[in-house]
Copies of this chain bind each other. A is one copy, B any other.
Amino acid sequence: MAKKKDTVAKDLSTEEKIKAAAKKLFTQKGFAATKTRDIAEEAGINLALLNYYFRSKEKLFELVMRENLSLFVGVLLEDIKNTPRSFEEQMNFLVGRYIDMLLENPDLPFFILNLIQSGHFQTDDQGNPVLKEITQLRAEFLKYAMEQMEQGKIKKIHPLHLMANMMSMIIFPFIASSILMARSGITDRKEFERLMIERKKLIPQWMKEMVEIR
């Protein structure tokens, strides 16, 4: 029997197939490197249908972008705010949530970074609500960290270092997995995932040590 093609699932509506294909390719390769014909092929549909359903490549990209950005900040923003937590609890919560999400969407960090670098950020109409969400998330974290410092709960460091370290240790492995895992160029997906799951416990510990008053 013929091998199943590594393409988007077939039991979706045409519109959904196109969106899924676009999401996959835009996320993996970015805007410029993704051709409308690639999307059509990946979705298994006629090229014209892309414009029929989504007007243009740009519009389709913006759709994917909005969804990806929601994913990227949404996981945390929903309840970082009101819930009071000790630093350790907070770390366990944030890190666990985020790594779980990234294990499901390992290409997301690359997409976001590509977005930043390419300047396609601005494309998002009027006032840029998504960048605003990131800024809000950042503000929320910084506020939390500074409160903890003022209450003498944690050591005083520039809170941006804390935020940088947390984000770095969570996100970076996902964009550099092939460097980290490279055994003569081959990435071992399973072993990588095992390590990332380990990190859900380890990163909070390291973060705690980082701010411990001795």
Flag whether A197 is at the interface (Cβ < 8 A).
Answer: no
**Chain A 138-175 per-residue mask, 1 if CB under 8 angstroms from chain B, else 0:** 10000000000000000001101101110111011101
A185 to B121, CA, bound (A): 10
**Which residue of chain B lies nearest to A195 when distances are taken between CB atoms in the complex?**
B160
Min CB distance, A116 to chain B, in Å? 5
Q: What residues of chain B lie closer than 8 Å to A113, measured between beta carbons? A: 110, 113, 175-176
Q: Among the interface residues A28, A110, A113, which one has the most CB atoms of the partner chain B within 10 A?
A: A113
Contact present for A33 and B118 (CB under 8 Å): yes
Contact present for A138 and B182 (CB under 8 Å): yes
A31 to B29, CA, bound (A): 11
Contact present for B168 and A173 (CB under 8 Å): yes
**Chain A 171-209 per-residue mask, 1 if CB under 8 angstroms from chain B, else 0:** 111011011111111000000000100110010001001
**Contact partner of A210 among B32, B160, B206, CB < 8 A?**
B206
Contact present for A184 and B135 (CB under 8 Å): yes
**Contact partner of A30 among B30, B128, B165, B199, CB < 8 A?**
B30
Min CB distance, A59 to chain B, in Å? 19
**Contact partner of A33 among B32, B131, B157, B164, CB < 8 A?**
B32
Contact present for B131 and A182 (CB under 8 Å): yes
Q: What residues of chain B lie closer than 8 Å to A181, measured between beta carbons? A: 160
**Which residue of chain B lies nearest to A138 when distances are taken between CB atoms in the complex?**
B182
A145 to B160, CA, bound (A): 28
Contact present for B32 and A116 (CB under 8 Å): no
Q: What residues of chain B lie closer than 8 Å to A131, measured between beta carbons? A: 182, 185
